[in-house]
Amino acid sequence: MAGVAFSFIIGEHGIFKYANLAKEQTNKETATEKMNLKIVDIQMEKYSKEQRMPTLQEFSDALCEDSEIEYVELQSKKLGSLSKINVGDASSIFTKLKEYSYEFEINTSLQIVSINPIKTTVDGGIRENDGTLFGIQATKGQGTQQNPYIIETEDQLLALSDLVNEGRSFEEKWFALGNDIILDNSKNWKPIGNSQTNCFKGNFDGRNHVIKGLYYNDTTTQYVGLFGFAIGSNIKNLTISSENSSINAGGVTGAVVGRIDNGTIENCTNETSVTINGGDSVGGIAGIITSCTVKNCTNIGNITGRISAGIVGYITAMDNGYCEILNCKNTGNILGTQTAGIASRVFNPSGRVLIKGCTTTMLSIYSSVVTPTDLTVED
């Protein structure tokens, strides 16, 4: 057994050979890459000092002590006189995704005698080897604009929310709805993205489908909507239905997105009521937009709160940015302090804002402008 073990370790095809290659090819930044480096470092440290591989317990302890490697799970399976464990198993899918699952063979002294990375995920690390997305069920798509990940169930949408709120942004990935989604309105929806740190950076095409049952009732929170906080995203072709839906939050709230920076919202409709208490900035489509484009969107829901409007509560374009609201329409009732049909407050100290081709059945197009602001309103 010892001969086999050392062959695995130092031979031409041994794990150190592959470990060194893996280390050379690893580029520092992602959680997966940090995981790869840590695994190699643990092996080399033990072998160089004690001429042996770490035991299962030592390996586990070393991984779990590393603050940069979270949610590590070790799972073992008896294979005769050997055991096999996986790190980054599918059971971790809702917390921290790994690009590889590592398979270890362990001798009767619980020393690791071989290690092999098993590629279990593709498409940026979110599809497992059984073809599932988010560890839930078989799912279609590759995450590109031409072939996006298809979301067809509430569970899949919730899984996306969980992943983003744990820190996975899905930057430049594309998602699309495969059908209408009915959410469980007996409990609060978990907005996709809950802070600037844990925000959605992907793209979402509703494909003209409808989301029903979007319910939220917690006035202590902000960044609330189907999406809570998004950066650089394109969110389009989506309707938030009034059926079994209502939103009551603390601030920075919109039915589609609470806040979006440097992104685009297009062809979206809100039918449900959106209310805030205690904070400010609420819109039928978005609470706050920063350097964004909102176009061809409609609100027919009732919007209530401080700095409230049918489309966007608060517009800002910082650092020479540019915001525009184009061809949008409001027919909903807007109530509260500082209200408007399209955009309530415009604050643009170092950029430009254009509101063009928008209509509202009540109130003015915009409510207030915080100077100095370059604002243009056109029919």
* Cβ burial 85-94 (10 Å sphere, 16+ → b, else e): bbbbbbebbb
Q: For the segment 122-155, what is each residue's pLDDT rounded down to a tens digit?
A: 333 344 333 344 444 445 777 789 988 889 889 8
Residue 367 confidence (pLDDT): 84
Reported as type and span, the H/E element at residue 240 is strand 234-240
Residue 101 confidence (pLDDT): 46
> How far is Cα 379 from Cα 377, in angstroms, rounded to an integer?
7
Residue 126 confidence (pLDDT): 40
In sign, the C-alpha dihedral spanning 195, 196, 200, 203 is positive
Structure tokens at 74: 């070790």
Residue 142 confidence (pLDDT): 75
Residue 82 confidence (pLDDT): 34
Reported as type and span, the H/E element at residue 174 is strand 174-177
In sign, the C-alpha dihedral spanning 105, 111, 116, 119 is positive
> How far is Cα 72 from Cα 259, in angstroms, rounded to an integer?
32
Whether 352 and 291 have beta carbons less than 8 Å apart is answered as: no
Q: For the segment 184-234, what is each residue's pLDDT rounded down to a tens digit?
A: 999 999 999 999 999 999 999 999 999 999 999 999 999 999 999 999 999
Sequential DSSP letters for 8-62: HHHSTTSHHHHHHHHHHH--S-SHHHHHHHHHHHHHHHHHHHHSSPPBHHHHHHH
* Cβ burial 353-362 (10 Å sphere, 16+ → b, else e): bbbeebebee
Burial (Cβ within 10 Å: 0-12, 13-18, ≥19) of residue 320: exposed
Within 13 A of 275's CA, how many CA atoms are on the CB side? Answer: 12
Q: Measured between alpha carbons, how far apart are the two ends of the chain, in Å?
A: 82
Q: Which residues of the chain have pLDDT under 70?
A: 1-139, 349-350, 370-373
> How far is Cα 242 from Cα 14, in angstroms, rounded to an integer?
61
Residue 26 confidence (pLDDT): 38
Distances in whole angstroms, Cα of residue 244 to Cα of each of 212, 215, 286: 7, 7, 20
Residue 366 confidence (pLDDT): 83
Structure tokens at 350: 């170092």
> What 8-state DSSP symbol labels residue 91?
G
Q: For the segment 323-344, what is each residue's pLDDT rounded down to a tens digit?
A: 999 999 999 999 999 999 999 9
Sequential DSSP letters for 291-343: S-EEES-EE-S-EEEEEEESSEEEEE--TT-EEEEES-EE-S-EESSSEESSE
